[in-house]
Amino acid sequence: MDIKDIIKEENLVYSKTKLMTDNVLSYCPGCGHGTAHRIVMEIIDEMGLQSNTIGIAPVGCSVLAYDFMNIDMIQAAHGRAPAVATGVKRTWPDKTVFTYQGDGDLAAIGTAETIHACNRGENITIIFINNGIYGMTGGQMAPTTLEGMKTSTSPHGRDLKKMGNPLKITELIAQLPGTYYVSRQAVHTPAAVRKAKKAIRKAFEIQQENKGLTFVEVVSNCNSGWKLPPVKSNQWMVENMFPFYQLGDIKVDGELVK
Ligand X SMILES: Cc1ncc(C[n+]2csc(CCOP(=O)(O)OP(=O)(O)O)c2C)c(N)n1
**What's the closest the beta carbon of residue 144 comes to ligand SF4, in angstroms?**
13
194 binds other proteins (CB under 8 A): yes
Q: Residue 222 contacts by C-beta under 8 Å, 6 or more apart in sequence?
A: 31, 131, 132, 133, 135, 139, 233
Helix (H, G, I), strand (E, B) or coil at 204: helix
> How many other CB atoms sit within 10 Å of the CB of residue 111?
15
* Closer residue to other proteins, CB minimum distance, 8 or 162: 8
Judged by CB under 6 A, the chain residues 105 through 124 that form the site for ligand X are 105, 109
Residue type, 61: C
14 binds other proteins (CB under 8 A): yes
Judged by CB under 6 A, the chain residues 28 through 57 that form the site for ligand X are none
What is the CA 144 to chain-centroid distance, rounded? 14
Judged by CB under 8 A, the chain residues 123 through 152 that form the site for other proteins are none
Among 40, 173, 187, 199, binds other proteins (CB under 8 A): 187
Query: x/- binding map, residues 129-168, to ligand X, per CB under 6 A?
Result: x-x-xxxxx----x--------------------------
59 binds ligand X (CB under 6 A): yes
Question: Three-class SS string for 112-139?
Answer: HHHHHHHHHCCCCEEEEEECCEECCCCC
Contact at 8 Å (CB) between 119 and 52?
Answer: no
Binding site for ligand SF4 (CB under 6 A): 27-28, 31, 33, 61, 131, 135-136, 222-225
